Amino acid sequence: MTEIRVFLRRTCYTPDDDLAFIGVPPVDTSALPRHARVSVSVAFPWDMDRARSLAAAWASLYRDVQVGGPGTLCPADEFVPGRFLRHGITISSRGCSRACPWCFHHKTDGNTREIPITQGRILEDANLLLCSERHVRSVIAMLSEQDSPEVGALDTRVVEPWHIEALHAAGVRRIRFAADYPGSHIHLRRVVPMVADFPGDREVFVLAGYHDRSERGLAEVMERIHLVEDLGFSPICLLYQGLHFHKYGPVWADLQEKYRPVEVPEKCHGCRGCLMGERLVAANGAALET
Ligand code: SF4
């Protein structure tokens, strides 16, 4: 069955094939397939109303219209490259066996579950390192065949020297960790000797605005960012978003703007509120929504 995928906004991770659409159906419907299933992909919980409106608009053309994606908080199936994330991005596991209260991965997908490995140069697993060693090694072997591979946040509590050595040998050019809560730099400190010879970028996501949005909370985040810098990593500030969109004041927005990735991802439109997993909020910075 032909599948039309509908997205609420275009981001650097949105597929761009002929069956991927942004928003309502085009005025000229002549190029649309006669029969198709329509899948509206919603990345953020706070976008559900908009997703339902879009589904209604597409339902005027097609009978089978469904809303899915991380924003629905429903568990995900196996990963199909290019379906809801553009080709080049891949996911080899779902869920996370940790239960960090600010995170949705374990709430929607439960404990860490390995899924079949598919090709992609950017790995966006929630927590790869909770997978079996065999799986992790297979993923790294897949990455070694890619051009300039990258991996998302590696759990500093379980990362071991062989992980970093294998990623280095695989030609990974960027690794990321996280310092999501006060005191998390202690785990990051353990990683410092492991990455001493890693030649690529070393970035650390710093979650802000979850624990405390007062001035004291802001000071704590600033301190955490500086600790991350002192340890030799580049911090990327992530402003927390929960079930409902929170509009941060200028001081917090400036913080996110100041500590954004050095390199904006390929095809990034800088959409405000972009979230392919909450990690990408920072990657898309504070530019305009398209
Ligand atoms: S923040 Fe990371 S470690 Fe915590 S539940 Fe989410 S994916 Fe797992």
What pLDDT score does 275 carry?
41
| Cα 217 to Cα 26, 214, 220, 252, 258, distances in angstroms | 45, 5, 5, 11, 17
- How many other CB atoms sit within 10 Å of the CB of residue 187? 16
Over residues 232-245, the pLDDT tens digits come to: 999 999 999 888 88
Positive or negative: CA dihedral 66, 69, 73, 74: positive
**What strand order describes the sheet that includes 37-41?**
20-22, 3-7, 37-41, 65-68
127 Cα nearest atom in ligand 1: 7
What pLDDT score does 261 carry?
73
For the chain, domains (ranges, CATH) are 3-71 (no CATH), 73-283 (3.20.20.70)
Helix (H, G, I), strand (E, B) or coil at 34: coil
**Given ligand 1 and candidates 91, 97, 125, 155, which is best to mutate, with the most ligand atoms within 8 Å of its CB?**
155
Cβ–ligand 1 contact at 106 (below 6 Å): yes
What pLDDT score does 263 carry?
56
Q: For the range 49-57, what are the long-range contacts, defined as Cβ-Cβ under 8 Å and sequence gap of 24 or more?
A: 50/8, 51/8, 54/6, 54/8, 54/23, 54/24, 55/6, 57/24, 57/25
Nearest to 89 by CA among 78, 79, 99: 79
C-alpha 261/C-alpha 253 separation (Å) is 15
| Residues of the chain predicted below pLDDT 50 | 266-290
Distance 38 CA to ligand 1 centre (A): 31
C-alpha 143/C-alpha 123 separation (Å) is 8
Cβ–ligand 1 contact at 155 (below 6 Å): yes
Distance 102 CA to ligand 1 centre (A): 8
What pLDDT score does 279 carry?
41
C-alpha 126/C-alpha 106 separation (Å) is 9
Cβ–ligand 1 contact at 48 (below 6 Å): no
Nearest to 80 by CA among 171, 3, 133: 3
C-alpha 121/C-alpha 135 separation (Å) is 16
What pLDDT score does 233 carry?
96
Distance 200 CA to ligand 1 centre (A): 24
What pLDDT score does 273 carry?
44
What pLDDT score does 270 carry?
47
Distance 177 CA to ligand 1 centre (A): 11
> Do the Cβ atoms of 128 and 96 come closer than 8 Å?
no
102 Cα nearest atom in ligand 1: 1
**Ligand 1, atom 7: closest residue by C-alpha:** 126
**Ligand 1, atom 6: closest residue by C-alpha:** 103
What pLDDT score does 262 carry?
59
